[in-house]
Chain A
Amino acid sequence: MRLDAARRGDATAQAELFEAHKHRVARQILRMTGDPSAVDDLVQEVFVAAFRGLASFREDAQVDTWLYRIAVNKVRNWWASGTRRRARESIALVDTEAAVEEGPEAFAAASDELDRFYRALGRLPAKYREAFVARAIDELGLDEASLRLGVPVSTVSYRARKAEELLRRELGWEVKP
């Protein structure tokens, strides 16, 4: 089996594993972070962790699910670290000279809705953010989200709804009583 070969360190089998899943993992990470500049680093980290953990990978789990969980952990660290902040700083610095010429309108337009959404998402506690991303952005059903995040269905449901409430507050939208 190819997975066994990859586990034994077979370069070809590992390359096949990487090629088969890299795009899905990259898309996953982009959805979780909203930051294209973070994708390559995190894809690398996910597969480094996966290759190192191949020996302990249980056959009863799907590779997709396993990689998803690794990605969730790596992205959690990314949100917690200064990386996200540095990315924001870089965005804030882009084109100061152009800003002088173009005026406040251009500046305001640069802070678009999706960036604002991800900033708000970044302020949520990790467990709520992960449940929300799984349910709302990855559009996973409750069972699948529960499996991928490794928490009970009821917990995923509660966390996702709580995240929605917190997000609306973070975005300054009124929360209906």
Chain B
Amino acid sequence: MSEPFPMDPRLRALCQQAAQQNPTPTRVAVDDIRRIVATRDRAWTIRTTLAAAACLGACALGFASWRASQTSDPAPMVLASEQDPPPRREASTDPTPHAPSIPPNVHAPIAAAALRLDSAATIERLGDSDTPEVLDPWHAVLVTGEYHVRVAASAKHPLTLVTTREAVRLLPGTETWVTVDSEGRLRSQAWSPNVHGPRPSAADLSRQAEEALQRRDTHAALTLLRRLATAYPRAPEARTGLLDLARLEASNGDPRRAVCAFRLYLERWPAASVRPEVERALAGLPQKVTCRSLKPRG
């Protein structure tokens, strides 16, 4: 006899519950489907025709260029060779003479509350014109040195107090937490697994918040959702998390904080499809609230 699947009885119970769901009778009509099929078929034909025409045009252009190149004198070609090396870049002086000797090109994860290397922030090594290779929004390949973190100011990222003069020391091979303090100064702190524990991902925080809600631990859920919203401002989990946070703040008797969470949501995702609902929810909450990020002021 084959063993049951899934093996975990709790999971099995959930799967049985999922299997027993019954949809309401569908409102989809076959005529609607036929109409959509006809529309898409027509659009596909037009696209295919246009693509074929563009292809033919490109081929004709290519052929004309080829013919022209055959009939004229060939242009001189400049080739780079080992005898003709590119101009040498001046060696950069090490801006951190006291830095320990660490192998170059160490992958140094950068965790930042408000910085994303792919959009609002750039990072450059002092005394070196080469920009570090950015692997993803949180990781760059760094060598030992001091780095400037530059945050582009924009309406969406109100970080105008952070200037290019702010320098942050990033230690290669060490996760560094970069934040902007309440006075607009850039702060960095080496992330120590011994002190802080492993840095939870947005998904971890989201899951932990859900677990806290399940066990009715409102305080923990609030803390986790606030952390999710500030530590991972652009994560999909933070998007729904902010709305959960707003609702939980309201239900926890703090409508002013709920206002701030809703406003932050609208600020971050102004084109969200649920904007009207968020605005409706805001209309039912106190109006005269000034917020700094998630916190009401005054």
Contact = CB atoms under 8 A, between A and B. Distances in A.
* Most-contacted residue by chain B among A22, A103, A108, A113 (CB, 10 A): A108
Nearest to A15: B30
A23 to B, nearest CB: 7
Contacts of B247: 92-93, 96, 99, 107
B158 to A, nearest CB: 24
A56 interface: no
B5 A90 contact: no
Given A11-B34, A85-B239, A137-B19, A172 B211 contact: yes
B275 to A, nearest CB: 10
Contacts of A47: 28, 30, 33
Interface string B2-18: 00011110111011011
B213 A139 contact: no
Contacts, number: 166
B26 interface: yes
B26 A40 contact: yes
A48 B37 contact: yes
Contacts of A11: 30, 34
A44 B255 contact: no
Main secondary structure of the interface of B (DSSP, over half): helix
Interface stretch (A26-34, A60-68, A70-78, A146-154): A26-34
Main secondary structure of the interface of A (DSSP, over half): helix
Interface in A95-138: 96-97, 99-100, 102-108, 111, 113-114, 116-120, 123, 132, 135-138
Contacts of B250: 96, 99-100
B26 A39 contact: yes
A36 B23 contact: yes
A39 B251 CA distance: 31
B284 A136 contact: no
Nearest to B244: A92
B211 A51 contact: no
B23 A104 contact: no
A106 B28 contact: no
B107 interface: no
Interface of B: 5-8, 10-12, 14-15, 17-19, 21-28, 30, 32-34, 36-37, 40-41, 203, 207-208, 210-211, 213-214, 216, 218, 221, 236, 239-240, 243-244, 246-248, 250-253, 255, 258, 272-274, 277-278, 281, 284-285
19 contacts: A18-B30, A22-B28, A23-B25, A26-B26, A29-B23, A30-B21, A39-B24, A48-B37, A48-B40, A52-B40, A89-B240, A92-B247, A103-B253, A107-B213, A107-B248, A123-B203, A136-B6, A164-B5, A172-B207
